[in-house]
Amino acid sequence: MTKRTLLGLAFGLTIGFAAQLVSANAQEQVTIIVPFPPGGATDTTARFIEPKLSATLGQPVVIDNRPGATGAIGAGLVAQAAADGKTLLVASLGTFATNPFLQKNLSYDPLKDFDLLTVAVSTPNVLVTHPGFKATTVEELVATMKENPDTVSFANSGNGSSDHLTAALFFQATDTKGVHVSYKGGSAAQADLIGGHVDVSFQNLGAIINYVKEGQMKALAQTGETRHPLLPDVPTLTELGYKDIVVSAWQGVAAPKGLPAETKAKLNEGLKAALSDPDVIAKFNEIGFQVVGNSNEEFLAFLQEDMARWKNVIETGNITAE
C-alpha cells in the first residue's frame, strides 16, 4: 500500500468520524426534569409538550421524574446543570413561587438560577364540599365559619400546597378561621372529602371535575378571574365579592441560567410550536388546563408578582412546610 493510499484512507476515516460526531451531536437529547412523580399535572404537562418540542428542535426529548420536597430536589438539579439547552425544568407554582418562603436552605433561587421560558398552562382551584355539607353557597359557608370558628375542616394535599395556601388566603380574605387537614397527596384528600370525613377543600379543577359532574362533590365557587368553560354555572369568588382570591395553579418551563441567545430562541420556538398546536391545546382543555404560553419577560413579571403575593399569605398565616 502506497503512502498516498494510506493518507487517503486516513483522511477518509477522519471525515467519516467527523460526520459521525456531527450526527451524534445533532441527536443529543434534551432532558425535561419533572420534580414530581409520574401521572400528576406537572408530569402530564411535560408529556403533552414533549412530542412537538422534540420535532421542532430536531432532537430527542426525554422526561426524567425527580420527585421530592414540593419539587425542590428536581429544581435544584436543573439549577446546577449546564446552561446549554440540554436540561429543562417543568414545574408548578409551589416549586417556583412558594418554596422560597416555606423551605429553609433551599438549593435554588427561582429568580436568579433559571432562565424563565414560559408559563405553559394554568387552571383555577375550585371550592368544593362533600354533598351532605350544610352550606350550599359561599355566603352560607362564611356565615358558618364566623358563627363557629375553627370547626369547618379544609382538606389539602400537603402543607404549602396550592390548595393549602388558597384556603389560608380564603381565611384571611373572609376574616374567618377553619381547620387545615393535610394529606400526603390530592387523591387522599379528595377521597376523605367524598366520604364526608372533612368538610371543604380547594382542589385543582382538573382533579375534581368528574366528581362534581357525578354529584360526589358540590362546587361552591372557583378561583379564576372568569368562569372556566368546564364549570360555566359555578361563580368565581371575584363575582361573589372576594376580589383578592384569584388563584391559578400553573405549570412553568425554565432552564439553567445563562442560555446562549441562539439556544434560548430555539427553545422558545419549540415551546411556542407545542403550546399552539391544536391537538395539544385540546388535550389540555380536556383536563381543565388552559394554555398560556407567555413570553420570557411576561413569565418573569408574573412570577415576581406571584411570589410577592404568596410571601404575604405565608407570613400572615405563619405557614410552614412542616
Hey, where are the domains in the chain? 9-122+250-316, 124-222
Percent of the chain with pLDDT over 90: 75
Rounded alpha-carbon distances, angstroms, from residue 122 to 58, 60, 80: 27, 26, 27
User: What pLDDT score does 96 carry?
Assistant: 96
- Fold match flag (9-122+250-316 vs 124-222): yes
pLDDT band at 27 (very low <50, low <70, confident <90, very high): low
Mean pLDDT, residues 123-135 taken together? 95
Give CA–CA dist 27/21, Å, rounded: 10
pLDDT at residue 15 is higher than 60:
no
CA–CA dist 17, 94 (Å, integer): 47
Give residue 17's pLDDT.
Answer: 40
Grade residue 19 by pLDDT with cuts at 50, 70 and 90: very low
CA-nearest of 214, 138, 186, 169 to 37 is 186
pTM: 0.82
- Asked whether 272 and 293 are in contact (CB, 8 A), the reply is yes
241: region left, alpha or beta (phi > 0 left; psi from -120 to 50 alpha): left
Q: What is the 3-state secondary structure (H, E, C) of 87-125?
A: EEEEEEHHHHHHHHHHCCCCCCCCCCCEEEEEEEEEEEE
Selection from 100-104, 242-246, 254-258 with the highest mean pLDDT: 254-258
262-292 confidence digits (pLDDT tens): 999 999 999 999 999 999 999 999 889 999 9
For the domain spanning 9-122+250-316, the CATH number is 3.40.190.150
For residue 13, pLDDT beyond 50: no
Please give the share of the chain, as a percent, with pLDDT higher than 70. Answer: 91
Per-residue model confidence (pLDDT) at position 195: 95
CATH class name, domain 124-222: alpha beta
Query: What residues pair up with 90 in beta bridges, in sequence order?
Result: 253
Query: Could you read off the pLDDT of 100-122 as tens digits, one per residue?
Result: 999 989 999 999 999 999 999 99
Distance (Å, whole) CA 118 – CA 112: 16
- Cβ atoms of 90 and 45 within 8 Å: the answer is yes
